[in-house]
Amino acid sequence: MGKSGDMLPFLAMVLVQIGYAGMNITSKMAMESGMKPLILVAYRQIFATIATFPVALYLERKTRPKITLRVLVQIFFCSITGVTGNQVLYFIGLQNSSPTIACALTNLLPAVTFLLAAIFRQEAVGIKKPSGQAKVVGTIVCVVGAMVLSFYHGHTIGIGQSKIHWAYAQNITNHGPNSTHSNFFLGPFLIMAAAVSWAAWFIIQTKMSETFAAPYTSTLLMCLMGSIQCGAIALISDHKLSDWSLSSPLRFISALYAGVVASALAFCLMSWAMQRKGPLYVSVFSPLLLVVVAIFSWTLLEEKLYTGTFMGSALVIIGLYGVLWGKDKEMNEKVEEQEEKEVKLKPRHRVKSDTNEDIESRLPRGGGGGGEASSSNGSTRPISP
């Protein structure tokens, strides 16, 4: 695979993690200001459906495969795991914890995805090969780095204060009506459950993409089903029209950003990358989210950076590089194996051709009919059977 073929999925996944980092901060601020998490999730899917519709309609109008009942069932399960289950659990968990803890526990995703992908034979472990060892060790290092970044602080790094300070965001976080609402047992538990649900979506989406290679259309249908599911859950839990109001600029921007960037764009890019690189490749970028959130929090909210932040970030990057190296080596090994098979088949074909040519050369040649050959005195004699 060429350099552009490797670089494009890499850049797409980095962009997805930057988008998720912004969503974590804006969504937490919206919930701190009083917005209910289930309502935010419902609006997120509605905006995602609206944003994805023209993209899927235009880009896949000629290449879209037939939408069968089996595809619709697979998309339904994708919406249950990747949209409703993942996002409802995650946003309620985020409300009961902090963006840093939420991002840290999301980094269980590569380990869970690797386990499920190995069980369903979508990812070859190959522990005896260097590529398999790199993937396993890199995944473990990513998770360890995320835990270090989350639960170990150490000394403050003396890099000074950021010149960019978002006073409005800090004021909302400190004085919002829900700023003290947290449950440090329920929150982490729900976020871990969301990671398992998200990993299940990676497996189902990868399987579906084998027969329905239309990432934008599948994202559109998944977000549409998710809108119905999340909207019904939110309506059952909250009937007040005032809670559904988007008159607040913060609520509107948070819902719009979450829908367009963190759902429509993210799902399209992840589905596209999974078709080319597999579920583990996509999931292993999730630890990068914690690094980006730490940078955003220092830049915008004046949070301090600690030695634990630096050490954890370094481990995340090293582990991510290890997995990417392992995946690249694994793909090269597959290409080499395929070339070796082709080389082995060519000599056999050549030997068979040489044998045929040798037999043809031994047959007597003459200008007579098919059943006779010319003799030395010009007469003809029958060919012995």
Residue 385 pLDDT > 50: no
- 11-27 pLDDT tens trace: 999 999 899 888 888 88
Q: Does the pLDDT value for residue 380 go beyond 50? A: no
Q: Which residue has 């009919």 as its token pair?
A: 369
Whether 364 is covered by a domain: the verdict is no
Dump pLDDT digits (tens) for 328-361. 788 788 788 788 877 777 655 555 555 555 555 6
More confident of the two residues 318 and 167: 318
114 within some domain? yes
Question: Predicted confidence band at 114 (pLDDT cuts at 50, 70, 90)?
Answer: confident
Residue appearing with tokens 């398992």: 196
**What is the pLDDT, as a whole number, of residue 381?**
47
Residue 151 lies in a domain: no
Q: How many CA atoms lie within 13 A of 321 on its CB side?
A: 6
pLDDT tens digits for range 72-109? 999 999 999 999 999 899 888 877 877 767 777 777 77
The answer as to whether 333 is a domain residue is: no
Beta bridge mates, 382? 372
Locate 35 and state its tokens.
């917005």
Q: Name the token pair of 163.
A: 């010149």
**253 falls in which pLDDT band (50, 70, 90)?**
very high
Task: For residue 64, give its domain range.
Answer: 3-136+165-284
End-to-end alpha-carbon separation of the chain, Å?
56
| pLDDT over 90, % of the chain | 20
- One-letter amino acid for residue 249 of the chain: P
Nearest one of 17, 47, 50 to 256, comparing CA atoms: 47
Q: Where are the alpha helices (DSSP H) in 179-306?
A: 186-209, 215-237, 249-259, 266-277, 279-283, 287-301
Within a domain: 310: no
Please indicate, yes or no, if residue 289 is contained in any of the structural domains.
Answer: no
pLDDT score, position 174: 53
Number of domains making up the chain: 1
Domain assignment present for residue 219? The answer is yes
Q: Which residue has the higher pLDDT, 194 or 364?
A: 194
Is the predicted pLDDT of residue 163 greater than 60, yes or no? Answer: no
In-domain check, residue 257: yes
User: Does residue 374 register a pLDDT over 60?
Assistant: no
Residue 355: its pLDDT value, please? 56
Reply yes or no on whether the pLDDT at 161 is more than 60.
no
- Counting beta carbons within 10 angstroms of the beta carbon of residue 12, is it exposed (0 to 12), middle (13 to 18) or buried (19 or more)? buried
